[in-house]
Amino acid sequence: MQIRLASSVDLEPLSLLFDLYRQQLQQPSDFPACHHFLKHRLAENDSMIFVSIRDDEMVGFIQLYPSFSSLRLAPVWYLEDVFVKPQYQQQDVVSQMYQKAQLLAQSTGVLLINHHDSQVPIEPESLSCTA
């Protein structure tokens, strides 16, 4: 399995996964809006999206938003979105994507924080397949 930062070449399959992610969170399917949203995130470079590729198929993603923490006096990346296709959820994909993001965060001196619990940095075992 390959885990890497998404780029514009990933826009179509990533938009499909993002649409599935939103549907799982009780949002209506809207591929054009998902495509538009992600196209702007990638173009503006205002979020970091890690994708997981297995056998030439994109099977999951996590999306991080850079910010700053006044309390920690440090730059942070907030984990906002996590999704893995159901058939891959038992294969440790979320943990591997998180570890890749954590490694990059540590190497650049940034804290990785769960957006839904911003009091503590996240650990792989606290992640689920949806945010």
- Tell me whether residue 122 is in a domain: no
Which CATH number does the domain housing residue 32 bear?
A: 3.40.630.30
Q: Measure CA 98 to chain center.
A: 8
Q: Answer yes or no: are the C-beta atoms of 31 and 15 closer than 8 Å.
A: yes
Give the chain's domain count: 1
pTM reported for the whole predicted model: 0.82
- Tell me whether residue 118 is in a domain: no
What pLDDT does residue 120 have?
41
For residue 127, give the 3-state DSSP assignment. Answer: coil
Greater model confidence, 115 or 95: 95
Domain of residue 25, residue span: 1-113
- 98-122: pLDDT as tens digits: 898 888 888 988 988 876 554 444 4
- Tell me whether residue 49 is in a domain: yes
- 39-51: pLDDT as tens digits: 999 999 999 999 9
Task: Compute how many other C-beta atoms are within 10 angstroms of the C-beta atom of residue 22.
Answer: 20
- Tell me whether residue 103 is in a domain: yes
| Band of pLDDT at residue 88, cut at 50, 70 and 90 | confident
